[in-house]
Amino acid sequence: MSTLVNQLINLCAAVLLLLSFALLAQRRVLSLIHLFTLQGATLVLSTAAMAHFTEQPHLYWSAGLTLLLKVLLMPWLLHRMTERLNVRWDVEPLINIPTTMLLGIVLVIFAFNLAAPISSLSTSIARGALGIALACLLLSFLMMITRTKAIAQVIGFLAMENALFFAATSATYGMPMVVELGIALDVLVGMVVLGVFMFQIREQFDSLDIRQLERLKEE
């Protein structure tokens, strides 16, 4: 049974890594939202599998909270933002896609080498997935710094939180429920604040391109 659960969690880790690369390569904003939703669904599956193996009830609550926030609520909020802001494409990354993908591969190699000694100290059944979680974190950060549209950077920020959550569940069987609820609330409030911020950018500059903020320096 443990082997089956381990294989399922490793499969989820591989899917998360592929989705992180897909987010990195995608230009269409609506597709970014769909990929983020798939990431959330994958987290729900991996957390539920870990809960079944460890028989820790709080992990079931974590899976349910992830389903509610990252598969249902946040994608819905992001869809509403794109409709109200009339955003469909993110066509101007700071670095072209092939170069970005090469940088992503370098970051994955770095993440696996960095996580190897840490993984050897973990007693979790999914300790091998820690390297993938760190790679997903770095890929999401790369996405944030190479996109010019604010909404794409918000999705990158949320994907970073997904990677941190997966690292917590795979390496240490999750965090205390109070901590998870606090983080979930912080992320939700952060999304609302970023949404207001994006509407303000759009109102002032008629664009969500963050390079427009450079005008403030000139003034």
Q: Where are the domains of the chain?
A: 2-213
pLDDT tens readout for residues 107-137: 999 988 888 777 666 656 556 678 888 899 8
Q: What is the pLDDT of residue 88?
A: 63
pLDDT tens readout for residues 48-76: 888 887 777 778 888 888 888 888 888 88
pLDDT tens readout for residues 179-217: 555 555 556 656 665 665 555 555 555 555 555 555 544
Q: What is the DSSP letter of 126?
A: T
Q: What is the pLDDT of residue 217?
A: 47
Q: Three-class SS of residue 157?
A: helix
- Distance, in Å, from the CA atom of 66 to the CA atom of 44, rounded to the nearest integer, reads 6
Q: Three-class SS of residue 124?
A: coil
> Which pair of structure tokens corresponds to residue 142?
């790369």
> What is this structure's pTM?
0.79
- Distance, in Å, from the CA atom of 199 to the CA atom of 194, rounded to the nearest integer, reads 9
- Distance, in Å, from the CA atom of 20 to the CA atom of 145, rounded to the nearest integer, reads 14
- Say if CB 31 and CB 151 are below 8 A apart: no
- 132-158 core/surface letters (b: 16 or more CB in 10 A; e: else): bbbbbbbbbbbbbebbbbbbbbbbbbb
